[in-house]
Amino acid sequence: MFSDLYFNAEAGDLLGVEIMIMPAPSGYIALLQHAEGALHQPVLIPVEVRGSQISFTIPENSPSALAPGLYSGALSLESLRVRGPLNSPKYAPQDFELKRGKSYWQ
């Protein structure tokens, strides 16, 4: 589980991203949830894992509300560092560092 979700008490908002990567019959999938004040719908997306490197694509009109496009990252013992979308003419790439640990919801 990788997360930077947190509650901003001053604004009363939930902010951040949470990703849980798990094995699936055809490789790996991720349960991804994103919040920007409002909590968005969690989504399941296919993930390509090669050693410590991962990549996934957020489709257009995803209920996650993350910018659509290709995201790429690196896993470590402490965190998941992700950058994306990498191939979008509309959105500038953002960097996320999600700490390894419990879900915000635990």
Number of structural domains found in the chain: 1
Q: How are beta strands 13-24 and 2-3 bridged, if at all?
A: antiparallel
Phi, psi of 72 (to 5 degrees): -135, 145
52-91 pLDDT per residue, tens = 999 999 999 899 888 999 999 999 999 999 999 998 889 9
4-41 pLDDT per residue, tens = 999 998 888 999 999 999 999 999 999 999 998 888 99
Q: Does any domain span residue 66?
A: yes
The answer to whether 30 and 45 have CB atoms below 8 angstroms apart is: yes
Q: Does any domain span residue 65?
A: yes
Domain that holds residue 48: 2-100
pTM for the whole structure? 0.90
Structure tokens belonging to residue 44: 């399941």
pLDDT at res. 11: 86
Tell me if residue 11 falls in helix, strand or coil: coil
The answer to whether 4 and 27 have CB atoms below 8 angstroms apart is: no
Q: Does any domain span residue 72?
A: yes
Q: Does any domain span residue 106?
A: no
Counting runs of H as helices and runs of E as strands, what totals does the chain give?
0, 9
| Distance of alpha carbon 45 from alpha carbon 26, whole angstroms | 12
Q: Does any domain span residue 27?
A: yes
Q: Does any domain span residue 105?
A: no
The answer to whether 62 and 30 have CB atoms below 8 angstroms apart is: no
Q: Does any domain span residue 17?
A: yes
